[in-house]
Amino acid sequence: MTDFKKDSGKEDISDESTSIKAKDKNPEKEMEKETGKEIEIKTKNHRNLLERYEQRLKDLDPELITPEDEIALKEAFIHAKETFEPEELVSWFTVKAEPFYRSVSWKVLLSLYEELLGIVEKKPGPESPETASVLNGLAGIYRYMGNYDEALKLFSRALKIRENLPDQPRPETGNTLGELGILYTLMDRRKEALSFYTRALEIQKKFLSPKNLGAVRTLNRTAFFYKGLEKPEKAEECFRLALKLLEQLQNQEPDNRVVMGYRAGTLNNLGVLLSEMGKLDEAEDRYGQALELQEKVYGPEHPQVAQTLNNLALLYFQTTRYEKAMILYTRSLEIMEKFGKTEHTGFATTLNNLAGVYVQKSRYEKALELYTRALEIREHVLGPDDPDVAKTLNNMGELYRILGQHKKALPLYTRALKIYETTLGPTHPDVGTTLNNLAGLHESMGEYETAINLYEKALDIIEKEYGPDHPYFKITRNNLIGLYEKMERSWRK
C-alpha cells in the first residue's frame, strides 16, 4: 500500500493512458506477490500444525487407541493434504493409519481412505502404485466390516494394478495376495484361500528383511487357516517356520523392536496351539519366551504382556495350578485397568477365567462377582445376543447349579442355549456342551427323563462334530451312563 501512494503522488498526467496502465499493472503485480506469500505462509502453518499432531500420533499402540487419537489422525490428515504431494501423502498415511487399522478403528479410517482414493485417482492416476496401495487398505476395512463383495472388488483391482507394474515380482503384490487369502478364508472358499497364501509366500520370502515381514505375517495367517481346518500339525509347521525366519532376522539386528515384537506374537500363537494339542510343557516354554521378549520391548505393564499372561494362566488352570493361574490373571487385570481397558472384551475374558479359578477354590461369592462383571461388559460391548455372552451365562448357570440354586441356574442355561442356537446354529458344538450342562441341572432337580433327552441330544451333536474319542463326548456319555446307574439304583430300592 505504501508503494501505491508514492506512485500516485508523482503521477505524470501528460500521458494519461500510460499512467492508467501503470496504475492497473502495479497493484496486480503486488497482489501476485502477496498471494504467493500467503500460499507460503499457509503451507508453513499446515506443516507446523501437522508436526504438532504427528507428535500425538507417534509410537501409538493399537491396544491403546483413544477417541482423542482418532481426532488427531483426522486433523493431521487435513494438514497433510496441504503439505504433501499425493505420492508422499499415501506413504505418510499408510504409516500413520497402521495402528488404527490394527485397533479396528474402521469408522475413522473408512472416510479418510475414501477421500485419499479420490485424490490419488486424479494424480498420480487410477493405475498408479499409490492407487493400488489405497485400494488395498480400503479393501481391508470393508473385509473386516463384513462387506466381502466390496472388499473382493477392491482387492482384485489393487492386485491387477500391482501385477501390471514393472519389475515383477514385487513385495506389494505378495501383500495383496496375502490379504486375498484372508478374505477367501472368511468367505469359506478355502481352496482359493490356500492358493493365495501360497502365492503370497513365494513372493514375500524373496524380500524378507527386518523392514519387510510380509512372509512372517502370511505364515501366521496360514497357520490360523490350518487351525480352522483342524489340521494342527500343519499349523504348527507354519508357526515354526515363521519363528525360524524371525530368529534369522533377529541375528541380523538383535535389538530390532519390530522383529522382537513379531517373534513374541508368533511364540504366543504357537503356545496357544501347543496347549490345545496337549503339548503343555512346550507351550509353557513358548509363553515364557514370549513374555521375556514382550517385557523387553514393551515393558512389564503393557496390554500385550497382559494377553500372554492370560494365556499362560489358562494353561496353569488346565494343569490345576490354580494359585499360579490366580496370580497371573490378577496381574493381567491390573495391567488392563492401568490402561483404562476395563470396557474391553479382553478384560471381560480375564474376569471370566479368573472367576473359574475361584470356583475351583470354592470361593463362590467372589466367582459370582467376577462373572457378573464380565457379563455386564460383554453385553455392553458385544450386545446381549453374542456367543461370548452365552459363555458367561453358561458359567454362571453352572455356578448356581453347584450352589443348588436351580431356579437361578435354569434361565441362564436356557438363555445361553437360545443365543448359541440362533447365532451358531442348532448343531454347533457349543449347543451340545450347553445341552450337557442343562441336562446336568435337570438331573440335579430330579427331572431324569428331561435330563436323558438332553444328554442324548448333546451326544448326537458332539459326536457328529468331534467324534466318539473327543473328551467332550466322553464326558457327556459318562454323565448319561451315570444317570442311568443312578436311576437303576433308585429302582432297586
Cα first-last separation, the chain: 115
- 188 φ, ψ to 5°? 60, 30
pLDDT in the model for residue 20: 30
Give the list of residues 6+ apart from residue 228 with CB closer than 8 angstroms, or none: 185
Give the list of residues 6+ apart from residue 379 with CB closer than 8 angstroms, or none: 389
Type of residue found at 110: L
Return the CATH number of the domain spanning residue range 208-298. 1.25.40.10
- State pLDDT tens for residues 48-98: 899 998 888 988 888 788 889 999 999 999 999 999 999 999 999 999 999
pLDDT in the model for residue 41: 72
Contact present, 36 and 9 (Cβ < 8 Å): no
- The DSSP annotation for 355-423 comes to HHHHHHTT-HHHHHHHHHHHHHHHHHHH-TT-HHHHHHHHHHHHHHHHTT-HHHHHHHHHHHHHHHHHH
Beta-bridged to residue 27, according to DSSP, are none
- 379 φ, ψ to 5°? -65, -40
C-alpha cell of residue 392? 458367561
Tens of each residue's pLDDT in the chain, 493 residues: 333 333 333 333 223 322 333 334 444 444 444 466 665 677 788 888 999 988 889 888 887 888 899 999 999 999 999 999 999 999 999 999 999 998 889 999 999 999 999 999 999 999 999 999 999 999 999 999 999 999 999 999 999 999 999 999 999 999 999 999 999 999 999 999 999 999 999 999 999 999 999 999 999 999 999 999 989 999 999 999 999 999 999 999 999 999 999 999 999 999 999 999 999 999 999 999 999 999 999 999 999 999 999 999 999 999 999 999 999 999 999 999 998 889 889 999 999 999 999 999 999 999 999 999 999 999 999 999 999 999 999 999 999 999 999 999 999 999 999 999 999 999 999 999 999 999 999 999 999 999 999 999 999 999 998 899 888 999 999 999 999 998 988 776 5
Please classify residue 397 by burial: count the beta carbons closer than 10 Å to its beta carbon, then call 0-12 exposed, 13-18 middle and 19+ buried: buried
Omega prior to 124 cis, within 30 of 0: yes
Q: Give the angle 235-213-206 at the CA atoms, nearest 5°.
A: 90
- State pLDDT tens for residues 355-373: 999 999 999 999 999 999 9
Contact present, 324 and 281 (Cβ < 8 Å): no
Residue closest to 450 by CA, chosen among 393, 410, 398: 410
What pTM value is reported for the model?
0.84
C-alpha cell of residue 429? 458344538
The number of residues making up the chain comes to 493
Give the list of residues 6+ apart from residue 186 with CB closer than 8 angstroms, or none: 143, 148
Give the list of residues 6+ apart from residue 185 with CB closer than 8 angstroms, or none: 193, 225, 228
Q: How far apart are CA 316 and CA 353, in angstroms?
A: 11
Contact present, 314 and 271 (Cβ < 8 Å): no
Q: How far apart are CA 137 and CA 125, in angstroms?
A: 17
Beta-bridged to residue 212, according to DSSP, are 209
Give the list of residues 6+ apart from residue 330 with CB closer than 8 angstroms, or none: 354
State the greatest distance between any 2 C-alpha atoms of the chain, in Å, as a whole number.
136
Q: How far apart are CA 194 and CA 177, in angstroms?
A: 10
| Domain coordinates in residue numbering, the chain | 208-298
pLDDT in the model for residue 40: 67
